[in-house]
Every structure is written in structure tokens, then in C-alpha cells.
Copies of this chain bind each other. A is one copy, B any other.
């Protein structure tokens, strides 16, 4: 229909607005490195202009659409950069679908977490956070933000959390999933202590697999094609999830809630079963893990739905939602403005209305402090 290809012609009417929507995965970006310059020290300004290096993402990143972006958005491929700015986000997404809360998850400085020089990484994260505050968060009160941190610089990350973590629109910290050590490793504990203290959600998102100081994106080395890299994503999320559980992160930080974005849920039911079986078999080796892994997941971990799993029938989807306790664990995420965007009106259309409300809003609201500062 014409409103799909020319969304602006629909005015500001929310399409099919029936329930509150919290979209947990909206990618905002800089248009070029110049956007970061006002927020950097002289030495880092020089470094960025002379040598580059925001290093957005891994080698096959979003190899669909235009540089990974939807081709129907007017700003796509502006200056070859395929950036959708805040006006585009408001008009073509928030207003169009009646999104009540939109979590900005960035992308531009994911690479900062995996470079050898973590001071430079942390400086770029700070600059990106300041840029986001000024050019995005200040423009629309519906926006929330999982702030950038350099995951491999826990001390720097804690400083950044202390600097900005109380901002009313900052509700999480973004942790790109390609990493030199899994996120349950005690190396990261200072980050989780700071997140717990500020009520922030460590928010995992793919994007640095196989990049810089991070090894290959699979235990079988580097795949050749984008499609293979997509298919390798559940593996990295599984490694982090097993790490959180078996390193005892949730015993150490009982109020911590963690979000896993853009990894879908197809892999989750059997992984929960396997974690539970394996724990039963060898739990004497990790005695600090005090209950079934799936119980920790229900209490502490939330997943978003994108990319939407496509099982052979709607009945199977219902079953999968039950297996993962979607009424507590699942959140909606659109991945706007990427080419494999899940449209809110087309997602979970045929499931129970109460469950839809939880997935589209309540579960996200329960972990991300969406009304913080309201």
C-alpha cells in the first residue's frame, strides 16, 4: 500500500495503534566522524581526523538493503552513508507506528570496545554519548538510550556510567557481543556493580564478532559470506548466556537484569533445555550456581524478538513462546532502520492480546526504567 512506500504521506497517524509499544532496538548513528569531534580532546580529535577509526562493525555487516539500511526510507544512502537522522526516526518510525518508547542502541562506536587502546575506545564512547544526548535524546522525550561503553575497559566504563548513568533517558549500557572474553567473566564485574547501582541494564547487541582484538566469529574460523555471519549469531549469544549463568553473575548481582537484542528466540528453547541437563550432570563443578539455569534466565535475562523466528506454523510459535516463558522474557525490537526491520504491525499479530502487551511494552518497562525521571 502507498503508506508503506511513502510513509510521510500518512501524516502522523499511528498505524494500527492499539497497545503501548516499547521498541528495544533502534539504531541511531553519526553521519560521519565529524559529528564526534566537538566532544573529543584535541589529541583524540587529531587521531580521529587523521587516522579514522570508529570501526562500526564486523566484516560482513548488514550486507543487505543499502549498507544494511531499508531502501524505502528517504534518508537512505544520503552522501553514501545510509543514515536515518532523528527527524526521519520520529516521522517514519515513532509517529508512524505510535511507538511510546524507543531505545537507541547506536552502532557507530561498537568497534571502540574491541580495539587494543581502550583509553581511545572509552573516549570515543563518551563522545558518542554526548553527541546522542545533544542530537537525539534532547529532540524527543520518547527516546531512551543504552549508552556506549568500552567493554574491555571496565574502569573507564564505570567512570562513564558514573558520569551519565543518572540521566533520565539513559536506561542501559550497550555491550557489543564480539568480545575477547565472555561477559560472565569476573573481569566485567565492576561494570555490573555500577549498572546495579544505577539501575541500568547491560544490553547485548551483535556487531563486533571477528573484529580487531576479537578472534574469529566461530570456533571454525572465519566464514566467507554475510549469510554465514548472520547464522553464527546465536552461537555468540549462547556463549555469553552460559557465561552469565555458570560464572554466577546473577548470584553476585541479584538485582541485575540483562537484555539480549537482535538474536531472536529460535535457538533459545533447546539451549535452555541443554543448560538445565548439563547443569544437572556436572553442577558439582560450579557449586555457586544454585538453581536451574532456566530459572536464572526467567528472572534475569530478557530477549528481543528480532529477527522474528519463522517456524513451520503459528501453533509452533505459540509453543516456543511458552517454552521461553515469553510472558516474562520477551520484548519487541524493530531493528529500525536496518533492512531486516521487523514492522510492529506485522509482528506477533496473531497471539493472545495480553501476551502482546507484555511483549510490546510491559516486559521492557519492567527491566528498563522507562519512566525514569518522569
Please, which residues of chain B bring their CB within 8 A of the CB of A179? 219-221
A243 adjacent to chain B (CB < 8 Å): yes
* CB nearest to A213 among chain B residues: B221
One digit per residue, 1 when the CB lies within 8 angstroms of any chain B CB and 0 when it does not, for chain A 45-63 equals: 0000000000000000001
B273–A266 CB distance below 8 A:
yes
Query: Assuming the A-B contacts A217-B219, A277-B310, are A231 and B266 also in contact, with contact meaning beta carbons closer than 8 angstroms in the complex?
Result: no
- The complex is assembled from copies of this chain, and their number is 2
Q: List the B side residues contacting A264 at CB < 8 Å.
A: 274
Q: Quick check: A275 and B231 within 8 Å, CB to CB?
A: yes
**CB of A279 closer than 8 Å to a CB of B:** yes
- Nearest chain B CB to A64 CB, angstrom units: 5
Query: When chains A and B are docked, how far (Å) is the Cα of A221 from the Cα of B235?
Result: 12
**Do A227 and B312 form a contact, CB below 8 Å, given A220-B179, A239-B219, A266-B274?**
no
CA distance A226 to B234 in the complex (A): 19
| Chain B proximity mask over A268-279: 1 for CB below 8 Å, otherwise 0 | 011101111111
- Is there contact, CB below 8 Å, between A242 and B232? yes
State whether B181 touches A222 (Cβ < 8 A): yes
Tell me if A193 counts as interface (CB < 8 A to partner B).
Answer: no
| Across-interface contacts of A63 in B (CB, < 8 A) | 282, 285
Secondary structure at the A interface, as helix, strand, loop or mixed, is: loop
Residue A66 at the chain B interface, CB threshold 8 Å: no
Given known pairs A230-B278, A273-B311, A282-B63, the reply for A239 and B223 (CB within 8 Å) is yes
* Shortest beta-carbon distance from A168 to chain B in Å: 32
Contact residues on A (Cβ < 8 Å of other chain), bracket: 35 or more
What mask results when residues 300 to 325 of chain A are scored 1 for a CB within 8 Å of chain B, else 0? 00000001011110001001000100
B281 touching A182, Cβ below 8 Å: no
Whole-angstrom distance between the Cβ of A179 and the nearest chain B Cβ:
5
Instruction: Tell me if A67 counts as interface (CB < 8 A to partner B).
Output: no
When distances are taken between beta carbons in the complex, the residues of chain B under 8 Å from A224 are 185, 243, 246-247
Minimum distance in angstroms from A231 CB to a CB of chain B = 4
Q: CA of A43 to CA of B230 in the docked complex: distance in angstroms?
A: 46
Q: Does A292 contact B (CB under 8 A)?
A: no
> Would B226 and A231 count as touching, CB distance under 8 A?
no
A276 to chain B: closest residue by CB: B310
Give the residue of B185, B215, B274 whose beta carbon is less than 8 angstroms from that of A231: B274
B residues near A282, Cβ cutoff 8 Å: 63-64, 226-227
- Minimal beta-carbon separation of A171 from chain B (angstroms): 24
Q: A218: which B residues are within 8 A, CB to CB?
A: 182, 219, 235-236, 238-239
Judge if A214 is at the interface, Cβ distance under 8 Å: yes
Query: What 4 A-B pairs are tightest by C-beta distance, nearest first?
Result: A235-B235, A266-B270, A218-B239, A215-B215
**10 interchain pairs, CB-CB under 8 A:** A183-B220, A216-B216, A218-B219, A228-B243, A232-B235, A266-B274, A267-B271, A273-B310, A281-B340, A312-B323
With A274-B310, A277-B307 given, can you name 12 additional A-B contacts, CB distance below 8 Å?
Answer: A177-B219, A182-B218, A215-B221, A216-B219, A220-B236, A227-B242, A228-B239, A230-B274, A235-B235, A267-B271, A269-B270, A276-B310
